[in-house]
Amino acid sequence: MATIEECRSALEKLSDNMTDAEGDVREAAALDRSVSCHIKDLDVTFVGRLTDGRIEVRDTVQGPPPEKARIRLAMTGDDLVALVGGELNFATAWGSGRVRLEASLLDLFRLRRLL
């Protein structure tokens, strides 16, 4: 089972990948939205903001997110690490229910380019 530190590191790596992206991916990452990522098996939530093409984790809280972010993710820590490491395909994980992504329809259309 992935640790909180491994999950935070995976989110930082994802943020770095988004910053280094080009074209459509960079454009999709240019949103300015509140973000939460609930790690179900650890029962912690990383709360932050997607801004300037980066995910800024501002807090880690116990349990589910205290407020409803505009972009919400939920998965296990191992799945987060595998997704960022390229070992797990996002579309497959999302389709099977291993990863949950909730956002407005417009944001989902923009975010699909990241995936």
Taking only the tens place, the pLDDT of each residue in 22-46 is 776 666 667 899 999 999 999 999 9
Domain of residue 52 covers 4-114
pTM to 2 decimals? 0.89
CATH code where residue 80 lies: 3.30.1050.10
Number of domains in the chain: 1
Tell me the per-residue pLDDT of 40-94, one tens digit each, with 9 for 90 and over.
999 999 999 998 888 999 999 999 998 999 999 999 999 999 999 999 998 899 9
The pLDDT of residue 108 = 84
pLDDT confidence of residue 107: 86
Q: Pick from 69, 35, 61: which is nearest to 50 by CA?
A: 35
27: phi then psi, degrees, rounded to nearest 5: -65, -40
